[in-house]
Amino acid sequence: RKEVEQDPGPFNVPEGATVAFNCTYSNSASQSFFWYRQDCRKEPKLLMSVYSSGNEDGRFTAQLNRASQYISLLIRDSKLSDSATYLCVVMWYGGSQGNLIFGKGTKLSVKP
């Protein structure tokens, strides 16, 4: 099975802190990369795609290192509402289909 590995955490940080998560993947043929956010007892929702050049969306920055096969997510100025589990997702092509492999998630808890 193609693997996606994440530190499960929890990461407990104060409001305003900067926190970073890493994710490693085993399949060098992986083509697309994503971060999803999952609130407690809710469904996953796309946070952002991860591009080779790196990308930023407000307080969130995602980076991809293909040579080392890892993806990172940086959250600046953490808010209470950022508390959630962050899922690293990797896509590789098998046959004609894209296959999504989900990591187990990294739990973030932002405290007042």
Partner 1 sequence: NAGVTQTPKFQVLKTGQSMTLQCAQDMNHEYMSWYRQDPGMGLRLIHYSVGAGITDQGEVPNGYNVSRSTTEDFPLRLLSAAPSQTSVYFCASSVSGEGTDTQYFGPGTRLTVL
- Residue 87 near residue 102, CB atoms below 8 Å: yes
Binding test (CB under 8 A) with partner 1, winner from 43, 67, 68, 112: 43
What are the tokens at 34? 């994503």
Binding test (CB under 8 A) with partner 1, winner from 15, 16, 26, 46: 46
Question: Which is nearer to partner 1, 45 or 79 (by Cβ)?
Answer: 45
Taking the CA atoms of 5, 96, 53 and 34 in sequence, report the sign of the dihedral they define.
negative
Tell me: does residue 51 bind partner 1 (CB under 8 A).
no
Taking the CA atoms of 22, 23, 28 and 29 in sequence, report the sign of the dihedral they define.
negative
Tell me: does residue 100 bind partner 1 (CB under 8 A).
yes
Q: Can you give the binding site for partner 1, defined by CB under 8 A?
A: 1, 4, 8, 31-32, 36, 41-46, 49, 87, 91-93, 96-105
